[in-house]
Amino acid sequence: MQALLIITQFISRLARAFALGTLFLTIVTGPVQAESGRIVVLSGQNLKPYQDMLTGFQQSLMKQGLTLAIEIHSLQGNPGKAQEVLADVKRNGARLLVTLGNTATQAAAREITNVPLLATMIITPDDIRSSPNATAVLLDFPVETQLQWVKRFVPGAGSVGVLFNPRENQDKVSAASKAAKGAGLTLVPRSVETPRALPDALDDATRTIDVLWGIPDSVVMTPQTAEPILLSTLRSKIPFIGLSTSWVKAGALYALDRDYVDIGVQSGELAGKLLGGTNASSLPPVYPRKVTYVLNLRTAGVLNLELPQELIQGALEVFQ
């Protein structure tokens, strides 16, 4: 009953977070000027990770001695706001366009072709694949890194299950299957094309796997699917690797997280290259270089999993 209460509370928080994702604040740092010697930042949200990223970004530019005017525009749930900013960029020019989040990135990739585009706070580079003027600092970690952390938390694991929608994640899962062999693991993928297919796939997977690996997926990982996934793994005593702090707080064993200030510093370093004349097409998207994680010790106890003290002490946050 306690686990069910925790999961119910988590689903409520997660649903609110999804709803808040559609709300935006408008903040402009510096006036909109008709000059090309500027950096224009288009931010999808005004949440703390976005603010931390911008802090690191500005610190990096200052360290490099880059003193261009930076205009920060945060959307307000209104596509017209993005179009207004992008129309100004097309009309008056800019040295660099920086986007935070998928909404801002998708709009910029559609509209801007003659200004270097630096996309940040996005999971994958899918939104900029057809934009030769763009590169990115991603939020996702390489699958090799993620699987290495599986071995650190669950050294005895041999098989790792993953539930995924093939239309969205087939390439990632195929790459992970190859990477798993290098990590001494066997990946056990289960296709989930609709939410209705999840219970059978989840039941089938938990019969044969040692760990369930959660990956971003619009069909599998939603507020509606959180309860069956968390309950099933807890009852089966299978460690579930969550997507975020919220998932870990609700019952996942751990989740990898990012240092958003450092992502901002990475973005600033990439911006310096773009501003120095390097073509975006020659700069492949990069992953976060710092790995942090959050941990649920209560879940570790339920799973009878003994974790090394240094692993516990190294966590960004520990739930008990």
Q: Are residues 212 and 159 in the same domain?
A: yes
In a domain, 121, yes or no: yes
CA distances in angstroms from 111 to 45, 137, 308, listed in the order given? 20, 20, 50
Q: What is the pTM of this model?
A: 0.83
Q: Tell me the residue range of the domain where 206 lies.
A: 142-257+291-319
What's the CATH number where 124 sits? 3.40.50.2300
Q: Are residues 247 and 224 in the same domain?
A: yes
Residue 286 DSSP label: B
CA-to-CA distance for 283 and 273, rounded, in angstroms?
9
Q: Are residues 132 and 32 in the same domain?
A: yes
Q: What are the pLDDT tens digits along the chain (320 aa)? A: 554 454 445 445 544 444 333 323 333 333 333 346 899 999 998 889 999 999 999 999 999 999 999 999 998 767 788 999 999 999 999 999 999 999 999 999 999 999 999 999 999 999 999 999 999 999 999 999 999 999 999 999 999 999 999 999 999 999 999 999 999 999 999 999 999 999 999 999 999 999 999 999 999 999 999 999 999 999 999 999 999 999 999 999 999 999 999 999 999 999 999 999 999 999 999 999 999 999 999 999 999 999 999 999 999 999 99
Domain tally for the chain? 2
Q: Are residues 96 and 121 in the same domain?
A: yes
CA-to-CA distance for 296 and 254, rounded, in angstroms?
6
Q: Are residues 147 and 231 in the same domain?
A: yes
Q: Are residues 301 and 194 in the same domain?
A: yes
Q: Are residues 217 and 128 in the same domain?
A: no
Q: Are residues 172 and 231 in the same domain?
A: yes
From 152, 148, 176, select the one nearest 164 (Cα to Cα). Answer: 176
Burial class (CB in 10 A: 0-12, 13-18, 19+), 85: buried
Q: Are residues 223 and 134 in the same domain?
A: no
In a domain, 4, yes or no: no
Q: Are residues 223 and 271 in the same domain?
A: no
Q: Are residues 121 and 245 in the same domain?
A: no
In a domain, 160, yes or no: yes
Measured from the Cβ of residue 25, the count of other Cβ atoms closer than 10 Å reads 12
CA-to-CA distance for 262 and 258, rounded, in angstroms?
8
In a domain, 7, yes or no: no
How does 28-47 read in b/e, with b if 16+ C-beta sit within 10 Å?
eeeeeeeeeebbbbbbbbbb
In a domain, 12, yes or no: no
Q: Are residues 313 and 199 in the same domain?
A: yes
